[in-house]
Amino acid sequence: MVFLAGVALLAATPAHAGRSCESRKPVPPQVIERGMKLAEQTSAALDAEHARSGAQVVALARAGQDLSKYGLRYSHMGWAYKTAEGPWRVAHKLNECGTAVGYLYRQGLGEFFLDDLWRYEAVYAVPTPEVQQRLLAVLQDKGRTKALQHQPYSMVSYAWGRKYQQSNQWALETLAMAMEPTTVRARDQAQAWLQFKGYEPTALKLGPLTRMGGRVGSANIAFDDHPGEKRFSDRIETVTVDSVLAWLQRTQLAAPAVVLVQKN
């Protein structure tokens, strides 16, 4: 099917990247079916946006994990863009299963939603025409898309740190580079621009036992990049989909988010 066709890696990584380690097992048919249905529904909605407003780039996110205890609804985002051939593709960063590294992918919508999702729901936000134009120029250029990619990965990387970089952080920093291509060429410059523009990361309340358990049990979770005064007061500031969507709307860089719940 068209959604699964043309998966192009931005870096050479195993196909199971981005899913839980259990996904090395065969994917159940019902998971594939539900993921494909959500992909088709999302494709139809984005095509309608394209026909109505000419939209070519959107922020697209999924609910891969249950983050409700942190007051969050979505777990992972990327930049979806309409190709010259017609289908939408998603540029996003994925964590290699069981490791502390992440790589960039370009995938079709089917592959993006082909996961054991916590909730079969998508959300997207349409940036302003200027933001879309600048982002599209980056997304169509493999070198520029990878410019701020940083392999060392932590799911809770410090929003203003450079030791690690999680998926939503890459997407946000790449937006900063797209908006200021002459002055933003490194991660510290991207983060300075985001601070200037008023981006506010999510502050997770994580106690010492939670932090210790996460760090010992998972290679892709680390807290040593967070400032001591924040970490030891149980304040873990990281980039989340919910905070990015709220900031995009608050700064009028994008329209209000649109939620797509899978149809039965």
Least confident of 136-140, 196-200, 208-212, 215-219: 208-212
pLDDT tens track for 228-255: 998 888 899 999 999 999 999 999 999 9
Q: Name residues whose C-beta falls within 8 Å of residue 245's C-beta, 6 or more positions apart in sequence.
A: 59, 61, 74, 123, 125, 254, 257
Q: Which pLDDT score, from 0 to 100, does residue 25 have? A: 66
Helix (H, G, I), strand (E, B) or coil at 105: strand
pLDDT band (50, 70, 90) for residue 78: very high
Q: Name residues whose C-beta falls within 8 Å of residue 152's C-beta, 6 or more positions apart in sequence.
A: 100, 101, 163, 164, 165
Indicate if the pLDDT at residue 108 is higher than 60.
yes
Rounded mean pLDDT, 103-120: 93
Q: Which two tokens stand for residue 80?
A: 């979806």
Cα-Cα-Cα-Cα dihedral of 214, 218, 221, 224, to 10°? 80
pLDDT tens track for 10-42: 333 333 333 445 545 677 888 899 999 999 999
pLDDT tens track for 124-181: 999 999 999 999 999 999 999 999 999 999 999 999 999 999 999 999 999 999 999 9
Q: Which pLDDT score, from 0 to 100, does residue 258 have? A: 98
Distances (CA, A) of 91 to 73, 149, 216, 230: 21, 12, 30, 32
245 and 257 Cβ atoms separated by less than 8 Å: yes
Indicate if the pLDDT at residue 263 is higher than 50.
yes
């996003």: which residue's tokens? 92
Mean pLDDT, all residues of the chain: 88
Q: pLDDT over 90 for what percent of the chain?
A: 77
Q: Which pLDDT score, from 0 to 100, does residue 167 have? A: 97
Q: Which pLDDT score, from 0 to 100, does residue 19 have? A: 45
Whole-angstrom distance, CA of residue 56 vs CA of residue 249: 18
